[in-house]
Structures are given as structure tokens and as C-alpha cells.
């Protein structure tokens, strides 16, 4: 999962090693990825966690950064009807992010990149970083980059989707293929959702009904799509991070291999 980049994870370092990296100008990365959130019948509950750590490892290696432990609990209210899924209140999650981010910066890190693999987490993260009032923290949204969006629009064949779907499953077939059970992949109903809301595995009258927990069609996923999506996503993240760090004069920047 860490792509031979353990040297960039503070959990694997001694405290003096962390201090040395901070003093040398390394940026800090705080990944956010759920460890207990349903992802259909074919993906594990820690799918977001897997993605967050993989992306953080790749990003850290390209821009000279150190990675704090992934925040695996967050605000995920759309999934709580599915066994095992946990959601914090938005206020609790916001406070959690703010206190962790503040603690990281207090150690002297010149820049903080909050790498977020969620959607419902975004408003709380934005508010948490506003509370810091330092200007040296950036919210990186994994699925929002222009390259990724263009690639997804080109490759996707599903009629709808946003969770444990064709795109996310394709990514996981590259990042952690041993954790994907394609034999259990199941598309969600194609009826349009009348309004955003929690998915349900039981209420068949709901526009948000999904027996499996997927929203989209994971049966269309392929490793080839995943390779293209992942390359686009990483290029977006590296570009955004490098541009931000360029404005931090003491932060080390070593961005490599960014495509246009």
C-alpha cells in the first residue's frame, strides 16, 4: 500500500527523524480516507483508507513531504444504514481535523496538504482549515482535478455513479487488486435519484435504494481504466500541491513527472 515509501510516513520514523525532515523544509500531508464505510459487496470498508494512503505515498515521493497517519473516521452520513459504516457529526469531524492540522503545523511544518478522498467530508475540512487562519494549508480533493474529470468523462460507460462504481472500482483494481471481488460486483438501480440523500439497502421505494451499497455500475470496471484514471489523478494532485508550495518560500519542492 505504501509503495516502498515508508521513509515518508511519520508513523515509521523516530521523532528526531521527523524533526529533521521538518527542518529540511518537507511539506506535511494529512490523508483523509474512511476505514469503516461500506463500498458495495465487492470492495472492503477501508477502500477510502487504502486509496488515501496510496495517493499520499505517491504524492510525498514526488514533492518531498512527510505523511501523518490517515484520518479514518469522518462525516459520512449517506452510508450509515449499511452494517459497519460509521459517521461522525459534521461539527465533531471539523473539530477533529482542525486540532490535528493545528498540531501538525505547531511542530514547525511550513505547509500542510490535507488529501481528502471523500465528498461529504469536504465542507467540514474547508471550515477546519479556515479556523487555522494561517494560509499555509491546502485542501486537496482527490476526485476534483481537471485531468481526472476529463479522463473519467471519456472512459465511463455507466449511466450514473459516484460510489463503489465503475470509476472507483477501476482505481482499486490497480491500487489493491487483491481486495476487489469482481464476482460480487453489482450495479445499482438505474432510476434517477430525485434528491441527494442516504443510500438504503432496504427501502425499495426510495430513489436512493441500493441493495449492494454501490451507486453506479462496478461491473464495467477494468484495470486499464484504472491505470488511466490514476495517472490523471496523480498528475492533478502533484500539480496543485507544487503550485501551492511554490508560494511557500521555505518549503522543499521536488515535483517529478507531472504531465500536462
Q: What is the pLDDT of residue 7?
A: 82
Q: What is the pLDDT of residues 8-61, one digit of tens each?
A: 999 999 999 999 999 999 999 999 999 999 999 999 999 999 999 999 999 999
Residues 82 and 213 sit within 8 Å (Cβ to Cβ): yes
Q: What is the CATH number of the domain that holds 176?
A: 3.40.50.10310
Q: What is the pLDDT of residue 99?
A: 97
**Structural domains in the chain (count):** 1
Asked whether residue 260 is assigned to any structural domain, the reply reads no
Higher-scoring residue by pLDDT: 254, 39: 39
Q: What is the pLDDT of residue 247?
A: 83
Q: What is the pLDDT of residue 69?
A: 98
Reference 110, options 147, 143, 135, 136; nearest CA is 136
Q: How confident is the model at residue 251 (pLDDT cuts 50, 70, 90)?
A: very low
pTM: 0.92
Residues 186 and 218 sit within 8 Å (Cβ to Cβ): yes
Asked whether residue 204 is assigned to any structural domain, the reply reads yes
Asked whether residue 65 is assigned to any structural domain, the reply reads yes
Q: What is the pLDDT of residue 252?
A: 43
Asked whether residue 187 is assigned to any structural domain, the reply reads yes
Neighbour order of strands in the sheet with 137-141: 65-67, 27-32, 112-116, 137-141
Range of the domain at 180: 6-246
Distances (CA, A) of 34 to 53, 71, 113, 149, 164: 11, 7, 17, 22, 13
Q: What is the pLDDT of residues 179-210, one digit of tens each?
A: 999 999 999 997 665 566 899 999 998 889 99
Distances (CA, A) of 172 to 49, 93, 179, 186, 230: 11, 26, 8, 15, 10
Asked whether residue 89 is assigned to any structural domain, the reply reads yes
Asked whether residue 63 is assigned to any structural domain, the reply reads yes
Asked whether residue 251 is assigned to any structural domain, the reply reads no
Higher-scoring residue by pLDDT: 164, 5: 164
Asked whether residue 98 is assigned to any structural domain, the reply reads yes
Amino acid at each position: 500500500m505504501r509503495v516502498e515509501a515508508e521513509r515518508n510516513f511519520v508513523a515509521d520514523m523516530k521523532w528526531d527523524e521527523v524533526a529533521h525532515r521538518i527542518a529540511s523544509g518537507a511539506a506535511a500531508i494529512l490523508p483523509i480516507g474512511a476505514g469503516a464505510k461500506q463500498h458495495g459487496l465487492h470492495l472492503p470498508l477501508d477502500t477510502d483508507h487504502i486509496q488515501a494512503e496510496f495517493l499520499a505515498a505517491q504524492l510525498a515521493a514526488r514533492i518531498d513531504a512527510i505523511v501523518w497517519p490517515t484520518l479514518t473516521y469522518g462525516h459520512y452520513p449517506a452510508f450509515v444504514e449499511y452494517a459497519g459504516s460509521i459517521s461522525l457529526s459534521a461539527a465533531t469531524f471539523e473539530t477533529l481535523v482542525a486540532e490535528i492540522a493545528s498540531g501538525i503545523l505547531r511542530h514547525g511544518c511550513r505547509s500542510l496538504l490535507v488529501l481528502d478522498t471523500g465528498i461529504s467530508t469536504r465542507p467540514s475540512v474547508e471550515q477546519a482549515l479556515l479556523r487555522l487562519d494561517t494560509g499555509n494549508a491546502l485542501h486537496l480533493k482527490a476526485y476534483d482535478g481537471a485531468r481526472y474529470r476529463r479522463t473519467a468523462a471519456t472512459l465511463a460507460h455507466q449511466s450514473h455513479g459516484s460510489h463503489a462504481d465503475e470509476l472507483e472500482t477501476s482505481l482499486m483494481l490497480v491500487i489493491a487488486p487483491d481486495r476487489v471481488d469482481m464476482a460480487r460486483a453489482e450495479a445499482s438501480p438505474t432510476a434517477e435519484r430525485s434528491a441527494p440523500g442516504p443510500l438504503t439497502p432496504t427501502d425499495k421505494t426510495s430513489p436512493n435504494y441500493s441493495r449492494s451499497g454501490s451507486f453506479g455500475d462496478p461491473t464495467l470496471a477494468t484495470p486499464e481504466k484504472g491505470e488511466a484514471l490514476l495517472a490523471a489523478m496523480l498528475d492533478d494532485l502533484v500539480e496543485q500541491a507544487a503550485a501551492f508550495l511554490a508560494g511557500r518560500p521555505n518549503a522543499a519542492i521536488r515535483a517529478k513527472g507531472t504531465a500536462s
